[in-house]
Amino acid sequence: MPENYLLSLLIFIPIVGSIAIFISPIGKSDWHRWVNAVVVGIQLVLAIALFVDFDPSDPGRYAVQLNWFDLSIGTIGQLSVEYYLEVDGFSILLVLLSGIVMMTGAIASWNINKQTRSYFALYALLSGTVMGAFISLDFFLFYLFFEFMLLPMYFLIGLWGGPRREYAAIKFFLYTLFGSVLILIVIIGLYTASFDPVKTAVSANLIEHADEYNDAIAQKVQAAVASGEIVGNDLVRTFNMKYMRDAANYSPDALLSPSNTSENSGWSFRAWAFFLMFVGFAIKLPAVPFHTWLPDAHVEAPTAISVVLAGILTKIGGYGILRAGIQIFPEQLITFSSWLVIVGVISIVYAGFNALAQRDLKKLIAYSSILHMGFVFVGMGSLTVEGFSGAFYMMLSHGIISAALFLITGVIYEQTGNREIANYSGLAKQTPYFTFFVTISFFASLGLPAFSGFVAEMLVFLGVFKGAQVQEYSFLWAFLSTAGLLLSAAYYLWTLQRMFFGPSYVKVSGFTGSLKDISLRYWILFVPLSALMLLFGIFPSLILNKIGTAVNELLMILQA
């Protein structure tokens, strides 16, 4: 297989599968399930192959960069949009995670019997758009995939969810759409400020073909734009994220140009842009106080969709802050770094205490997800190698662990239709194998040594304490971040004790008998997820070796 086809296949195989399911007859439920499982399974195999073969020193090996369309827009210049896909040390982890979680959700969806054609067509479509968001390096293309994820998720929650599914779906859609609008404002601002030096060189007749472009031509183009020699239709505007990272690729008089020192209400326009982008992605993550849509969405969503929502979609918020926010606005990250730590710590403490107060097992796990995403902010705000490594390790680790945690709620809810913690006791006697996997998942999430969660949390703690020595935030915030360990241990051990030990009973109206142990379908799901928790906990070098080069390059940008 040619290398430059691999990234496109990750996107379009599920999308083609979605179309095949959608045009198939309505009554073919087994066909719908198997087509979805096959296309998502192929996506997983390709993601694993890409991860194993990925060389951090050659991230552009699989890159695809094709011109999509151009449009003349008068005095502003020319609009250029590219079909630009690439993976680096950060996105490769989330490509692997997407493959794992989407396959987990596909198997967990096997018991869906209502409108299977629509459900599995939407699920396959979601799988393709999620992957597209992680590997797109053209902002227009990234935003297209980022926005398009809203549509299948809205219907998957709103049509196949619980009793209050319409409310949860609308709340999810409105919150994330509001965040998307904030991000779009920044994208438009960056587009009107930056230019493509290669296409501008061709447009201004400095070179005849893009193949002639080199560093000397780049400097000549940048100098000509800065001096006003290249203006109007000769200037080719760009959505290319790589070009946006270079301060020399900005028109000097543009609002979001790094050289523009004008301010509004005490902040530079780039500071405002970083703030808007931060809020937009913080809603998706989510962080306190933008989190209120998540518990409702999780409680009402089907088990498989909760797996995808916690395992993948929330990670797009953290990835977006790094990819679009930090790499394009490094100066603003340094300015706001202490706020990232503070927001992260507040999310950890607030979500931890809320988890302790929950009666619904699924809502407890939802708040646990908010707590762990707080560690992502804390790691990024520390501005250290350890912190950034921990933030991305946390996204991978939590994606796997949260998938197992929401499957736990599915095992119980499918049999009794109830998730109230107080209604269950002594389940270890009735379901020993289920209890075994619950214990592994709980201990992995609270950060027990030998599990992936421990590695992620330790790296974040090393980074935040190291960062406190040179950043503006106090050691107090670093100490408070460790409260996540105590709070997660408290609510997980409390839940484990109440539900699985003590006198044996199930107090659910209409349910008689005892809870059955896990079925073959859940064995297929729990065994590999538990193995991955241990694998990445015992051998962290499997992950750290892939992201090390990208983290060091990011720190070099910040130091510069």
pLDDT digits (tens, 9 = 90+) for 278-331: 999 999 989 999 999 999 999 999 999 999 999 999 999 999 988 887 889 988
Q: Does residue 2 register a pLDDT over 60? A: no
Grade residue 204 by pLDDT with cuts at 50, 70 and 90.
confident
Which range among 97-111, 207-221, 438-452, 533-547 shows the weakest confidence by mean pLDDT?
Answer: 207-221
For residue 160, being part of any structural domain is answered with no
**What is the mean pLDDT of the segment spanning 119-126?**
96
Backbone angles phi, psi at 357, to 5 degrees: -90, -5
212: left (phi over 0), alpha (psi -120 to 50) or beta: alpha
Contact 451, 443 (CB under 8 A): yes
**Letter string b/e over residues 87-102, b meaning 16 or more CB atoms within 10 A of that residue's CB:** bbbbbbbbbbbbbbbb
- Owning domain of residue 542: 329-560
Q: Please check whether residue 437 is in contact with residue 526, taking contact to mean a CB–CB distance below 8 angstroms.
A: yes
Name the band, by pLDDT with cuts 50, 70 and 90, for residue 467: confident
Say if residue 540's pLDDT is above 60: yes
Helices (H) and strands (E) in the chain, counts: 24, 7
Residue 480 lies in a domain: yes
Q: Is 516 domain-assigned?
A: yes
The tens digit of pLDDT for each residue in 60-102 reads 889 999 989 888 776 667 888 999 999 988 899 999 999 999 9
Q: Tell me the per-residue pLDDT of 362-418, one tens digit each, with 9 for 90 and over.
A: 999 999 999 999 999 999 999 999 999 999 999 999 999 999 999 999 999 999 999
Q: What is the pLDDT of residues 480-528, one digit of tens each?
A: 999 989 999 999 999 999 999 989 999 988 887 788 999 999 999 999 9
In this structure, the strands spanning 64-72 and 78-85 are antiparallel
Give the pLDDT confidence score for residue 550 in this predicted structure. Answer: 87
In this prediction the pTM is: 0.94
Q: How many CB atoms lie within 10 A of CB 148?
A: 17
Residue 353 lies in a domain: yes
Residue 468 — very low, low, confident or very high, per pLDDT cuts 50/70/90? confident
Residue 187 lies in a domain: no
Total domains in the fold of the chain: 1
Q: Is residue 321 part of a domain?
A: no
Residue 1 has pLDDT above 50, yes or no: no
Q: What are the two backbone dihedrals, phi and then psi, of residue 555, each rounded to the nearest 5 degrees? A: -65, -35
Does any domain span residue 6? no
233 in any annotated domain: no
